[in-house]
Amino acid sequence: MSHEVASLETLSGMRAVVVGGASGMGLALARALVGRDARVMIGDIETGALDAAAAEIGVGAAVVDVSNRSSTAHFAGLAAAELGGVDLVITTAGVAMLGSLSDTERSDWDWLISVNLFGTINIVDFFVPHLRRTTGRLLITGSVAGVVPEAGMGAYAATKAAVGAYAEVLTEELAVDGIAVTLFLPGPVATRLGSSDRNRRGRPVTSRQETTSPDISDRRWISADDAAANALQALASGVALTTTHPEWREQVVSRHRRIEKSFD
């Protein structure tokens, strides 16, 4: 199946897959890509929101549970067949919960790790073979929380720190195949991430996490559209890492100063 030559600078003509594309940053990214004349397919675990998003922006869609390898493998094959190949993969699928580490149960850890870390690994495992055929691009969504972890978000931060390390190594390893990897580390974005338990199998997160949540009301929240614009600019520029919220710079610098000092 032929397709127009994709523009790396504008992302026009790219055959793009957005995982977690039914809402939040994923939907904003998919919408922006459509606006740039990319051909887009979205995947998500939330069927109703997925159908609504696909109808809104006029793209193909399929249900995928990124924590499940069989589901992810099926989705990757379906997307590649639907688009006639894959030039760009964006993964924004993720879940969060707030609460102290002492209140975080093993089942909570299993849920967070299965989606945030293993979900990312599954996407990479099953889409990289397609990207190798096109020397494509991959955007992995981490979080600034994985760089400057805070009390009340320990479990989430731990999974995002792992995602960040994984993505940075991928950047080096996939470069030999001509695949460019961008690690996206957003700060607070106004999405439905805080209600991730709506898609959790088994028991939902209980009030114990809610009552031990940190006060984040004073943080500057940006829109999903603004976050998406940042990510797409990074993709078009080919940079390996991008962030939002420049006001977090000093926290990042302070942490690294402490690490540097430990070598003295």
- pLDDT tier, 4 (very low <50, low <70, confident <90, very high otherwise): very low
**Catalytic pick from 156, 196, 237, 254?**
156
Q: Where are the domains of the chain?
A: 15-261
pLDDT tens digits for range 20-34: 999 999 999 999 999
Active site residue 143: yes
Domain 15-261 has CATH 3.40.50.300: no
Active site residue 166: no
pLDDT tens digits for range 156-175: 999 999 999 999 999 999 99
Check if the beta carbon of residue 23 is closer than 8 Å to that of residue 53.
yes
Check if the beta carbon of residue 82 is closer than 8 Å to that of residue 17.
no
Beta-bridge partner residues of 89? 17, 138
**Catalytic pick from 7, 143, 223, 237?**
143
**Catalytic pick from 23, 67, 160, 196?**
160
Distances (CA, A) of 213 to 3, 59, 202, 210: 48, 37, 22, 5
Active site residue 107: no
Name the DSSP letter for residue 189.
B
